[in-house]
Chains A and B, each alone.
Chain A
Amino acid sequence: MMRGWLRSDGRKGVRNVVVVAYLVECAHHVAREIVLPYRDNDVHLIGFPGCYANQYAYDMMRRLCTHPNVGAVLLVSLGCEGFDKRGLRAAIEETGRPVSSLVIQAHGGTRATIAQGRAWVEGARDSLDGLPTVPVGFEDLTIGTICGGSDGASGVSANPAVGRAFDRLIEEGAACMFEETGELIGCEHHMASRAATPELAGEIVKSVEKAAQYYAVLGHGSFAPGNAEGGLSTQEEKSMGAYAKSGTSRIVGLIKPGDLPKGGGLYLLDVVPDGEVRFGFPNISDNAEIVELIACGCQIILFTTGRGSVVGSAISPVIKICSNDETYRKLSEDMDINAGKILSASATLDEVGEEVFASVESVAGGARTKSEALGHQEFILTYKTFEPTGPSCLPSA
């Protein structure tokens, strides 16, 4: 049975994590040391490395620290960084979550701050462990999907299987999210035909054009050499395969990192920054996109892979769906579901889609994913700039 923790904003978490967040790279070591003894007890490390303030990074940290899977937060500051630590603390306090901040320069340096941090984390962990759980329904869930290390099989097995699961989840009332407009170059007009309103259709096409321009300036797109080794030849081919993750539901909204969905349905997350190319690649690795999905409220992530990614994430569990038998054999300890069965004809797309759906249900009931059990808690957050989301992007609002 799906169960979770009810938060003051009405959202429910399927995990009850204590987050330790460093607010500049200079506080990273101290924060990591605080977490170390409790890393198997749902105490997760997140943070922002930059010294200079950035609205996107602030908004992301605020959403992550008030994520439904998060029960308590310890902020670790060096002291002189630009991050608005008081604003973040106040935003967390408003939600009723236990929060504390430690400033290394004011608390006696590395050793003393680690000791105080560990004492606070132990207290927070104890109090969270005593909290009652409530039943969770599909309408309480926001599920994100991402593909990483794609190959020629991803687009015919794992990705469409996730698409089937998305269709089922949305039928049951869940909000589902797919992302990376740069990995959807070539699919924009088909996506537009699925949009809930003509205005949203126009915004979707514009978002992909923005991604194409952004990548053209950078010189190449979201296509890694490993993709070509896996049989994919072009960005458009990779896009068509990636697009299959979205299933067949109507697209009800186009959101940006940190925006929350307004009810159930299928959302496209635009992860490409607005304005001139300023801070480099939109997302430097898969986990940057996973963090953005989680900032939009995703409590569980469906990650399809062909070449074989092993990552998990801080805050939200990651379910790994492997596209082919060979990678599954090599990395079976890291893979939750083998969609390669579709290629060998020992299972249909519908059957594997059902398996993905059942896996969401069981992980939302507390079952650990492979990456969770192995201790994966990857996290990365870098500089970006976004304009506010326009009203025609969320017509259901």
Chain B
Amino acid sequence: MAHIPDGVLAAPVLAGGALVALAGLRYGLRQLDEARLPQAALLAAAFFVASLIKVPVGPSSLHLLLNGLMGLVLGWAAVPALLIALLMQAVFFGYGGLLVLGVNLVIIALPAVLCAGLVGPRLVTASRRGTWTWGAIAGAGAVALSGLLVCLALALSGPEFLPAAQVVLATYGPLMLVEAAVTGSAVVFLQRLAPELLPQVRPEGLAGAKTVCKRGPP
């Protein structure tokens, strides 16, 4: 469960989440230039749709989050993209809710931004196999962090949610594996066919990207 529904969380948690989300959104919007907007829209659409692909886990079910991938490709621009995607999910599917939008945005977007900052630079220097590994780490890490943030939000709202938080944490394990495979493959795919989509490659100079490309097909 990555979407916390309305009426579960306490008011201070909702307000705190909304404030953090607003700050992130302000910064993220500045990073969202015209060149990156189509990618942001495409990834937001992918995130929106991915929530319908369910992975059954025990009594509950989970869906792909793709927030690690979004972070790697979009960096801070993932925050506004995720806001729109979450808004559409709340309006069209009834997942989450409008009041908890801020908290849900923090839960999904904070791991994405951390992925961009921590894993992004490693992708530039990584070999092809390394690329997959780092992509997988980003995917699994982002999901794990999202799960922890869900637990934190539930635990801060009241001790009666602690059992729920534990169940959430337990169900995130299998999703981490799926997400790692998907994100790793997606990053390798992008690195080979469209390295310019991974923004971390650019600041280091295009030379790095080109050598990776040349090394790709033997």
Q: Do A and B come from one complex?
A: no
Q: Please report A residues at the B interface, Cβ cutoff 8 Å.
A: none
Residues of B within 8 A of A (CB): none
